[in-house]
Structure 1
Amino acid sequence: MKFYAIVCVAVLALSSVTGCNHTKQPAVSGLCPISYTVMSDTSGNFTVQIGSEDIKDFSLAAELEAGVSRKSCTAHALCPFVKYVSEYPYKFKMIIKKDCEFVIEPVVTPKSSSIKLDESADRSGQKLYFEDWRKYNNQELVFVGVNKEEPMGYFFKTNEMKVCADGAPNAYHIDNKGLDYLANAGYSKDVNKRKSWWRNVLAVGENGADAHVQQEGRYAGFFVSKTALVDKNKDNREVSKYVDARTVPYLVFPGNFFKIKGSGTLGDFGVAYNYKTKKYAPFIVAEIGPAKANLGEVSIRLAEQLGGVAVNPRNGAGVPSGDTLYIVFPFTHSSPKWPLSEKDITQQVSQYLEVLGGIDNIVKKVPVDD
């Protein structure tokens, strides 16, 4: 789910939009339906006038694409969004695409004009603000930023680390000799039950019924292991479409966590720090795991960068021990989200760390658990 991306609109006659279920959207008493008027003059100037006084304090800026003329709209989909903005303090912009279709996107704090960096300044003593956000599976999530109004992201700490091999070309083998057990791809040893493998883990073969097996090259005989983050220009059966757990530091979002408004989306950036090894590593959010899983599942590469040795996805051996701090910067993904190099990921994360005064400043000031 990409909660911030395309917000589906029911306009005037409540015409349905493919992929949206308006019946599940929460109602906001006294605000629905919300009327707004889009206006654009010949010089390209624009305004978006929202009819309800109640929502004018929610920092909804607006941008128009070319060719939009005056149009009056009724947006039922804005109702739950307004409730969301009131609960989660990020700034957003409303991009009018055409007629009454619109997209809601966040204004990413590190790129905001409100933050001016003096490259010659020493920010190692940067003051940080923390605010409790919520819990997930009894795990505390805390906002972090350089001011109270615009949190840059959130963090969590855990001493639980699981290792994901998804995306690696040798992750799963038909003879169960891959980096991970076939069972973790939902693939049964029973030939008669092999139609029930998990299609979000293994790519589908050309016949549409079997999992695709690589036919040539170094990893012939291995399945094509998928990740949720992909290169949209590649075929589903190409290994290079997915994010290789051996070479890319990535974080896995549990399925239920991914659905939480404010958690972020695929392609977002973050940084992890292990308190025992004192090593840190930038990462990208690249995979969605089991719905009810705990936070703390990472790629082989991320576990190694945090101090892991001979990391084994099958049994979790070799991962660094002790607590690990994870800081996620929601809505910071690039466009396109993938492919990126490890250098690209590091450069993206570096700018956010700079705003926060560096990893040492963050670690020093993160609240200590009671």
Structure 2
Amino acid sequence: MLGSQSSDSIEYEDQTPSREVWANGVCMKTSEVEAKLDEGNIQEAESSLREGLSLNFEEARALLGRLEYQRGNVEAALHVFDGIDLPAAIQRLQPSFSEKQPSRKGRSRGDSQHAVSQHAASLVLEAIYLKAKSLQKLGRLNDAAHECKRVLDAVEKIFHQGIPDVQVDNRLQDTVCQAVELLPELWKQAGCYHEAMSAYRRALLSQWNLGDDNCSRIQKAFAVFLMHSGVEAGPPSLAAQVDGSYVPKHNLEEAILLLMILVRKFYLGKIVWDPSILEHLTFALSLCGQTSVLAKELEEIMPGVFHRVDRWNTLALCYSTVGQNKAALNLLRKSLHKHEQPDDLTALLLAAKICSEDSHLAAEGVGYAQRAISNAQGRNEHL
């Protein structure tokens, strides 16, 4: 079985021509194993790993498959992964994770057994995840999605109360995070959009112990999917709804909520700034005529996140859309100042349009229009 310390977990070193693997405190070069794989002797290669690293059948198979995957032999890796009995492995792992916390007297042994089980689960689940990746590379997208789903189903069976946020093997957590992100993408690539919708919601509503970056990528991808997929999602199931919480009525509302959550995460310092989030939010709020909400979001963004002229121009567009032309024009005057971007064609056209609606601003509007004509060259000449 795998060792109880994190340093005893299986690791790989493939930066050099001679690969090495570690397990249970033992280091083993893979040259002999790879030679047997090249000869097609999978069983002999498996036996070498089992004897050299004290692994059981599933663990040795998982390690062999990963080795083939690393070497770029996707079909060979898939053949090795097919030999892993996932249900049997889960059945063996379930009792060890469902047992109660050991007593203080027996805690050392219990902790050791728990760590062993985590390492075993990590290796087997990673193998199924890599099987899904192999199928994806071979273009078998439906099969890949089903295999990826098996990883998440297995995790839910092993961890009945969700993955704890402490004392979890890093490789196990990484595999879970990668599988959670991959599943909706596989369903989309396979053209199964309703399944993709369910996978996104499962990713965000279940207890996967995702990091902020993982969760944010999923939220952003889901928001984009909601806006552009053409598939009406409908509200989340009643089981997923929290009493007193707002339930979005349609795709666009749900996408806007997700994007606004991402903006809040940035304000709180949980994620780095992603300009595309604001671009998607601008598009979504413009579709439903809520540019005043967009203006409020822009005003709350800290200075320096993006160029002040871009902020002024976007705010001006938001204000002009809701009839606040005076505020919009004041912002455009700032952005078109000689020390800022006086030749910005979009800003000049918007300023000219606003001035054309007020006779007192006609002369100023003519000036903006003339500058726009002078700068409308090349690809902008048609404007």
TM range (shorter): under 0.3
Greater fraction of residues in strand = 1
Task: Work out which structure has the larger RCO, using CA pairs closer than 8 Å and 6 or more positions apart in sequence.
Answer: 1
Greater fraction of residues in helix = 2
Higher Cα radius of gyration: 2
- TM-score between the two structures when normalised by the length of structure 1: 0.21
